[in-house]
């Protein structure tokens, strides 16, 4: 088993990789999007600029976007690991990553308005979720979620009479498209939609972010949700919002949906919007072996 005491340097590498190198599935999707846009169009120009920036960031190990966002960790740990130690390792790595400029200092006290300067705030900043799992593999998933796209996330309580959205998947479709329409280019489109149906307000938003750890090219095992994911992506791309709101055919790169249990009295739909800087990476530790994907 990898000693917890040496984990900080591996976590630091996970943060560096996440901040400076877009995952292959996201980059492939952006490259395919360029080909769909008209030559000479503003949409194509925006996507080409994004991809140039992605290449430069990888070469120079500099952040893909100046807003390195909220670090959100999901930690799946084997029996016997201390979550208190793991939390400290993660916080140490985040502070070191900030000192090395892989992360911008982003933790601002909402009351005093003071920036801590090292990305360490309260227990929610960075956000860390823990779950104990079978086996002896430690898996750490990291997402860096930008502020602009976080601002255009939305939560709906169905039924919504204004949108004519009832408590079913047809209603879900209506409110998700409403969220995309309202976001326009402000979430730094093309984005990816994480959608949770059900839960309470807190668990619903939580799950809408967790689902964004899925790969863009995977298929939802639930055929109904798989069909809705495809339909929503296609319909969002017909809204004409386009990359950075410049118009065009590419408003979202994908949609990921999960369903939760709910109270009979409630039917929440939460939409987490992830920008084109879809920075998410996974670190796996098995014995002395550490891998990053």
**β-pair partners for 104:** none
- Minimum Å distance from CB 230 to ligand SF4? 24
Residues of 102-128 as b/e, b for ≥16 C-beta within 10 angstroms? bbebbbeeeeeeeebebbebeeebbbb
**Cβ-based nearer residue to ligand SF4, 46 or 177:** 46
Residue with tokens 């790969």, as numbered in its chain: 215
- Minimum Å distance from CB 161 to ligand SF4? 31
Q: Please give the C-alpha separations between residue 199 and each of 80, 208, 212, 229, in angstroms, as whole numbers.
A: 30, 10, 17, 19
Helix then strand count (H, E) for the chain reads: 8, 9
**Cβ-based nearer residue to ligand SF4, 154 or 275:** 275
**Cβ-based nearer residue to ligand SF4, 13 or 150:** 150
3-class DSSP assignment, residue 188: coil
**Cβ-based nearer residue to ligand SF4, 15 or 65:** 65
For residues 248 and 180, what is the distance between their CA atoms, to the nearest angstrom?
14
Helices (H), 100-146: none
Task: Indicate the residue whose CB is closest to ligand SF4.
Answer: 146
**Cβ-based nearer residue to ligand SF4, 65 or 172:** 65
- Minimum Å distance from CB 288 to ligand SF4? 34
Q: Which residues bind ligand SF4 (CB under 6 A)?
A: 65, 67, 69, 146-149, 188, 275-277
CB 266 within 8 A of CB 11: no
**Cβ-based nearer residue to ligand SF4, 50 or 128:** 50
Output the six-digit token pair for 31.
């490259």
- Minimum Å distance from CB 69 to ligand SF4? 5
**Cβ-based nearer residue to ligand SF4, 252 or 277:** 277
- Minimum Å distance from CB 291 to ligand SF4? 26
- Minimum Å distance from CB 186 to ligand SF4? 8
Measured on CA atoms in the order 242, 254, 188, 48, is the torsion positive or negative? negative
206 CB-near residues (< 8 Å, 6+ apart): 129, 196, 199
- Minimum Å distance from CB 151 to ligand SF4? 8
For residues 164 and 201, what is the distance between their CA atoms, to the nearest angstrom?
21
């Amino acid at each position: 088993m990898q000693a917890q005491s040496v984990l900080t340097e591996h976590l630091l590498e996970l943060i560096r990789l996440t901040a400076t190198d877009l995952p292959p599935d996201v980059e492939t999707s952006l490259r395919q999007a360029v080909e769909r846009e008209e030559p000479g169009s503003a949409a194509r120009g925006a996507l080409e600029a994004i991809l140039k920036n992605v290449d430069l960031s990888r070469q120079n190990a500099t952040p893909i976007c100046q807003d390195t966002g909220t670090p959100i960790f999901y930690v799946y740990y084997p029996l016997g690991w201390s979550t208190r130690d793991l939390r400290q390792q993660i916080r140490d790595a985040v502070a070191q990553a900030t000192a090395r400029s892989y992360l911008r200092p982003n933790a601002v006290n909402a009351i005093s308005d003071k920036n801590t300067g090292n990305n360490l705030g309260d227990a929610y900043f960075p956000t860390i979720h823990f779950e104990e799992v079978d086996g002896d593999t430690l898996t750490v998933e990291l997402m860096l979620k930008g502020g602009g796209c976080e601002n255009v996330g939305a939560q709906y309580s169905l039924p919504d009479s204004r949108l004519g959205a009832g408590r079913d998947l047809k209603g879900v479709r209506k409110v998700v498209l409403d969220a995309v329409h309202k976001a326009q280019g402000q979430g730094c489109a093309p984005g990816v939609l994480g959608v949770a149906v059900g839960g309470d307000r807190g668990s619903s938003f939580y799950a809408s972010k967790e689902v964004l750890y899925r790969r863009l090219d995977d298929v939802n095992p639930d055929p109904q949700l798989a069909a809705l994911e495809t339909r929503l992506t296609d319909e969002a791309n017909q809204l004409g919002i386009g990359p950075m709101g410049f118009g065009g055919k590419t408003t979202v790169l994908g949609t990921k949906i999960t369903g939760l249990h709910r109270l009979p009295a409630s039917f929440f739909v939460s939409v987490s919007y992830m920008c084109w800087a879809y920075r998410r990476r996974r670190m796996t530790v098995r014995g002395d072996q550490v891998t990053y994907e």
